[in-house]
Chain A
Amino acid sequence: MTDIPTDRLTHLERLEAESIHILREVVAEAERPVMLYSVGKDSAVMLHLAKKAFYPAPPTFPLLHVDTTWKFRAMYDLRDKAARDAGMELLVHHNPDAMARGINPFDHGSLHTDLWKTEGLKQALDHYGFDAAFGGARRDEEKSRAKERVFSFRSANHRWDPKAQRPELWHLYNARKAKGESIRVFPLSNWTELDIWQYILRERIEIVPLYFAAPRPTVERDGMLLMVDDDRFRLMPGEVPVDRSIRFRTLGCYPLTGAVESEAATLSEVIQEMLLTTTSERQGRAIDRDAGSASMEKKKQEGYF
């Protein structure tokens, strides 16, 4: 027997209970759920919560990684290990069209994200016939996310209509839908970045080592510090990779993800740095800068997660 919880639950205990409730509700109501697993810290927390929700059974749904082939190598390593440890099936989808056309972050800019991720996700969901997909998005990340429901309904062609969202009351989630329609479910909706870090600390959740500072080969480009993760990285004339002590606040395709110079090598040091820093988390991501302030809302309407 472990510690007895006091009558008064902490905010992390409440968030955990709410997320577990959401995970169970989907499994009880959906025909074919799947967990979108991006290998980031939010995915790690979501996977951990899924293991807790169905313990002692393993989660009854597979993990789906919509891959771009351009993630950090360390992400692929942890992805495979995490699925194995959880006893879950891991599905990896590569958009064959993007593959055939050689879409990459160096030549194709925002088309890279659109084809590999947005289109790739739709393809994978259609291919496997998933009717409910868990995602690790949080409402505190971005303005249009703040208005999205926990159970976010998508039309048969994956579109999100912010004006036609179902009201969501109490702990009652309406998971009913017609054939072909699907729902995206966000169990971490009410978590903040600090909550995520505190929970990783409390639960000792394994995350990609790239979140911790270490000397890594880098180049500086367009004001971003990029890591040279493999030999596909195209160096500009005059560019020479330099070892810097860096870490990442978010993880995506390595040529698009900016690092921060840091000495924070432990979890509490990372949290300390996060709390002392003065810029928000998504700042290192190119995707939000695309089309001004309505960028994410537009992407979501088109089916981006």
Chain B
Amino acid sequence: MALDKFSLPNRIVSQGDVARVKRELHSLNDYLDQAQLRKTGSAMERLPKTSRGLDDFVTDNTLNLVNEQDRYAAISFFDELADKAPVVHVSFAVDPSANFIIKITGWFRENIDRLVLVNIGLEPTIAAGCTVRTDNHLYDFSLRSHFDKQRQLLISKIKGEPTKAP
């Protein structure tokens, strides 16, 4: 099973990243296949660019993508990852930075599943915090949710009623 062979770097976060890496791997594979078929003396096309995610993947797993076996193993891994990896959707009030996304993804992979894919979304109404949605549940860790839970406290404050000590 290809999923057990490799680790997934935190820079490859979402299903979109996986699709992009797959596309890069296929492109690289095509390029190298073309290179093998190239006649001596003919002009070579430029090596396709690879993302930092793919670079990290290759580095972390000590692969040599020039090696056809490693290349196909990586393609197989990402194909299987795209089909079977668990996915969570995490939404924030503002667009998070790359480092922030990496930290959140790292937490998920350390604590939930080492191959989980995290789709990042934008939900300005939550103000702060985040919402985590799996296929079956929605976990609301937002400030909006916190305010809704403390609604009675706010109403009692508006009424001027004494509040119980927490």
- The yes or no verdict on A and B being binding partners is no
